[in-house]
């Protein structure tokens, strides 16, 4: 860090866009103030995974360059997002005998029981991104949230494990290396978005973040303060754009403008003509055609989302409903559509938890980058947070850091 100043950096490596957020950390309060924001179009990724190293490396470098110029801070490390359908969510449990002579549970015991719980649960070609303890049992006493310092002889754990294919992690690392950025932590995009848009009360009540990106949709379900279930779907906003390009017989660039400026998730009762200027030409379309195309793709997407909610046992059972993030959440009336289709309360997420003002930073497409920055700000104990939030978000990159250390050795 420069001149005793502390900074936090989040880099959202999306399929279509890389976004970067830089914040200065107050030395007294630990509060982050956003001082730099950057974004750049990305290539070389398909559905959240790297297929060409040079594309993401250049996009990371370009987005960082913009944020660095704005902030005056040269970035050398950051918390970075990972995405893709290769990310898996599984359940794990395990038991250990408490090691200390006085039978007091220590940090070493908590690390050891996580290792025991995950042993053999994750294939050799996968790397654990996060272990989220749901509850512990100590000598038969159930529903213990934090056993540290308690006394007992037999400790059990029930946990949620998130893992990724190791080759995809390595390729993401190589892209960051090429941009001269060291990943301090690697966080699943949906988990990062949740950090930026959810309140403690929502985390407790039960809520799902649905992060609809360019090529993928992340689902992260929280209850009792912890991540309960996560999934990544291979569908996103690019699919809607491509459908519009084909259906309206126009270029993808024009179709993207139509989607963001004129599409509605809820069909309009009356047809109307709309005009859009692009490249010096006027393009005319009917709202009826736009609505039919968008509705068909949204129905496919939300059917898949509902399927995941059913798999998690949370369909229609989330008191705080769903919170929509990602660039596609900008489509008009999408929250209303989600409410009707899923039978749950729905809203578009608004980022919070920081000071400073920057263009577009409160918009849903920046939720993941802001969340990554907030997690990065907590990584070295720079901020005081509740243990529950710290366990759910801040500790998520520790195992990945060890993995990268092995890879470099």
The structure tokens listed for 393 are: 């978000």
Distances (CA, A) of 210 to 151, 201, 304, 306, 332: 40, 18, 12, 11, 16
CATH architecture, domain 6-84+166-198+351-400: 2-Layer Sandwich (3.30)
- CA separation for the pair 197, 323 (Å, rounded): 8
| pTM given for the model | 0.89
Q: What SS3 class is residue 6?
A: strand
Per-residue confidence of the chain (409 residues) as pLDDT tens digits? 345 579 999 999 999 999 999 999 998 888 999 999 999 999 988 888 898 899 999 999 999 999 999 999 999 999 999 999 999 999 999 999 998 888 999 999 999 999 999 998 888 899 999 999 999 999 999 999 999 999 999 999 999 999 999 999 999 999 999 999 999 999 999 999 999 999 999 999 999 999 999 999 999 999 999 999 999 999 999 999 999 999 999 999 999 999 999 999 999 888 999 999 888 899 999 999 999 999 999 999 999 999 999 999 999 999 999 999 999 999 999 999 999 999 999 999 999 999 987 778 989 999 999 999 999 999 854 423 233 333 344 444 445 554 444 444 4
Q: Evaluate whether the domain defined by 88-164 bears CATH number 1.10.10.10.
A: no
CATH of 233-346, picked from 3.10.180.10, 3.40.50.2300, 3.40.50.720, 3.30.420.40, is 3.30.420.40
Chain region(s) in the chain for CATH 3.30.1490.110: 88-164
Chain region(s) in the chain for CATH 3.30.420.40: 6-84+166-198+351-400, 233-346
Q: What share of the chain is helix, strand, coil (3-state, %, to 5)?
A: 40, 30, 30
């Amino acid at each position: 860090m420069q001149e005793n100043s502390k900074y936090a950096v989040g880099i959202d490596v999306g399929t279509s866009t890389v976004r970067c957020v830089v914040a200065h950390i107050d030395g007294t309060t630990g509060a982050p103030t956003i001082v730099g924001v950057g974004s750049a179009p990305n290539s070389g990724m398909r559905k959240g995974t790297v297929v060409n190293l040079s594309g993401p490396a250049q996009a990371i470098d370009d987005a960082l360059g913009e944020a660095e110029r704005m902030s005056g801070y040269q970035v050398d490390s950051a918390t970075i997002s990972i995405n893709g359908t290769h990310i898996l969510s599984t359940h794990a449990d395990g038991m250990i005998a408490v090691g200390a002579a006085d039978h007091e549970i220590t940090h070493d015991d908590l690390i050891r029981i996580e290792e025991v719980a995950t042993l053999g649960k994750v294939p050799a070609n996968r790397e654990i991104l996060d272990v989220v303890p749901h509850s512990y049992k100590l000598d038969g006493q159930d529903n213990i949230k934090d056993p540290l310092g308690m006394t007992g002889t037999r400790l059990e754990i029930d946990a949620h494990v998130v893992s990724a294919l190791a080759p995809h992690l390595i390729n993401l690392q190589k892209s960051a290396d090429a941009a001269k950025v060291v990943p301090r932590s690697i966080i699943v995009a949906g988990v990062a978005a949740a950090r930026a848009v959810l309140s403690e009360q929502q985390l407790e009540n039960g809520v799902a973040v649905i992060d609809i990106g360019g090529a993928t949709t992340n689902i992260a379900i929280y209850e009792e303060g912890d991540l309960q279930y996560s999934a990544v779907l291979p569908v996103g906003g690019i699919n809607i754009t491509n459908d519009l390009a084909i259906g309206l017989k126009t270029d993808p660039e024009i179709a993207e403008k139509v989607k963001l400026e004129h599409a509605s998730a809820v069909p309009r009762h009356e047809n109307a003509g709309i005009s859009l200027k692009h490249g010096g030409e006027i393009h005319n379309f009917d709202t009826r055609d736009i609505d039919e195309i968008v509705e068909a793709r949204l129905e496919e997407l939300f059917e898949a989302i509902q399927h995941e909610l059913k798999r998690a046992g949370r369909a229609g059972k989330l008191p705080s409903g769903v919170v929509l993030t990602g660039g596609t959440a900008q489509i008009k009336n999408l929250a209303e559509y989600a409410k009707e289709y899923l039978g749950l309360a729905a809203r578009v997420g608004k980022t919070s938890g920081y000071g400073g003002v920057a263009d577009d930073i409160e918009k849903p497409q920046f939720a993941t980058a802001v969340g990554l920055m907030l997690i990065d700000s907590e990584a070295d104990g720079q901020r005081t947070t509740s243990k529950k939030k710290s366990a759910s978000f801040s500790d998520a990159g520790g195992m990945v850091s060890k993995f990268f250390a092995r890879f470099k050795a």
